[in-house]
Structure 1
Amino acid sequence: MEEVERGERMPLPQSVVLGAKDLPRTILSDHIESRLFGKLKHERLERTRFYGKTYDEVPGAEALVVRVVSSVDKKLEVKQQFLEIFQ
């Protein structure tokens, strides 16, 4: 940051900086997004009833993007003597 402030380096233009929407979609990220949007819509509908306003009058979260960066299933083999200790 100091180098940018001193003018020694220029920050990258916003068009070069990648966001979550630029990452590939996965089955898991699609599932999380759909659940999130469903819950947010339900919560927004509850607020419309509570405040007595229309759906458009109540602010809501929009343009959210969910991506899964890492998801690992791992199976470890444990030596029999350790397995017996923890069973």
Structure 2
Amino acid sequence: MSDRIPEPVADLLRAVLEALDIPHPATIGDGEEHARVLTDRAMHAVIALHGILDDQVTQNLGIEWTTAYLRKRLAEHPPTGYRAAGARTAAENGGGS
């Protein structure tokens, strides 16, 4: 018996991790925008998981379609708009002020 996760399932799990594993806010002031972005991304991950796991869903379009759909939704809600902890400024990266 193999312990390997089938690739379509692993890809969906990677997309869910991508949805939830976003940079932490740098300051308390950045927390509100971080929370908004994370909430939007988590909602789409939950919808994707329900689409695969719920027997009640009448149109299960498959793992590959659901994973692609989730990634499309995540692209609409990038983890931006707040300062992230550990992010370097342009000047620190050699990019001027």
TM-score (norm. length: structure 2): 0.29
Q: Which structure has the greater CA radius of gyration?
A: 1
More helix by share: 2
TM-score (norm. length: structure 1): 0.31
